[in-house]
């Protein structure tokens, strides 16, 4: 059984946000508009976090970090859901069952990464975008929680295609939209249980670290960065 993981090479990332846009379009995430953004309610499954660096006069600057759901192996969110509407599946994907979610937002408060999103109102798209919605991803109604799925609909499609061609799923068959889009090649995706996979190899790198490992959440998003990690996490 695979254990899906992502690697984000911060030394390659140019903070262009192509991944953010690709995610938004791929997953039918409604662009809520300026008004909702001003209320602090814009939904984004993958966002760019700005970390302040070198605060004490050395080399002040910002460092941008793409932040999807960490798909923790020990997720704090799934434990607290009162109705089992969020679960970690056998391949390590933390999934959300929209038709069951009661919208209590316990998972959103329990997640230390603040990557879970809530639908404050029904999603809406401007006229030209309405015909461009992805048929593979269900639209979430008002009042439920949603989150990055590592584009698991793409896993289903890749598996179907492999089955049709009577072969095993191969490395590279299944890539989330953000990984596929990244022009700088800063994102990698694959099976962490396969020692020959790119993510396993990169995970061994001395540059590798994960966010808030000390909380015991065992995230499956691995970051790569040269030298000292400046972010205060």
Query: Which residues bind to another protein, rule: CB under 8 A?
Result: 38-42, 49-52, 67, 76, 79-85, 100-106, 108-110, 112-114, 117-122, 142-145, 211-212, 215, 217, 232-233
Min dist. Cβ of residue 98 to another protein (A): 10
Residue in 6, 2, 3 with CA at minimum distance from that of residue 210: 6
Whichever of 61 and 185 has its CB closer to another protein, that residue is 61
Min dist. Cβ of residue 216 to another protein (A): 8
Residue 92, φ and ψ in degrees, nearest 5: 80, 10
Min dist. Cβ of residue 55 to another protein (A): 12
Residues 6+ apart with CB under 8 A from 211: 67, 70, 113, 219, 221, 223, 233
Min dist. Cβ of residue 75 to another protein (A): 11
Whichever of 104 and 158 has its CB closer to another protein, that residue is 104
CA–CA dist 214, 105 (Å, integer): 24
Whichever of 27 and 117 has its CB closer to another protein, that residue is 117
Whichever of 120 and 194 has its CB closer to another protein, that residue is 120
Residues 6+ apart with CB under 8 A from 145: 85, 86, 96, 101, 103, 105, 107, 108, 116, 117, 118, 119
């Amino acid at each position: 059984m695979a254990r899906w993981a992502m690697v984000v090479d911060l030394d390659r990332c140019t903070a262009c946000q192509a991944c953010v846009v690709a995610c938004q379009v791929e997953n039918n995430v409604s662009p809520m508009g300026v008004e909702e953004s001003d209320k602090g309610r814009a939904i984004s499954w993958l966002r760019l976090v700005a970390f302040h660096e070198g605060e004490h006069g050395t080399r002040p600057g910002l460092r941008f970090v793409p932040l999807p759901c960490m798909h923790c192996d020990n997720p704090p969110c799934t434990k607290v859901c009162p109705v089992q509407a969020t679960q970690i599946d056998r391949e390590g994907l933390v999934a959300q069952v929209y038709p069951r979610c009661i919208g209590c937002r316990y998972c959103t408060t329990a997640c230390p990464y603040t990557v879970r999103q809530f639908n404050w109102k029904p999603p809406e798209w401007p006229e030209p975008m309405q015909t461009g919605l992805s048929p593979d991803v269900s639209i979430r109604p008002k009042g439920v929680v949603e989150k990055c799925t590592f584009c698991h609909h793409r896993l289903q499609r890749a598996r179907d295609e492999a089955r049709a061609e009577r072969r095993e799923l191969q490395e590279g068959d299944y890539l989330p939209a953000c990984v596929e889009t990244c022009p700088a090649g800063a994102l990698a995706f694959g099976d962490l249980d396969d020692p020959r996979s790119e993510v396993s190899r990169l995970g061994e790198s001395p540059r590798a670290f994960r966010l808030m490992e000390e909380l015991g959440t065992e995230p499956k998003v691995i970051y790569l960065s040269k030298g000292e990690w400046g972010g205060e996490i």
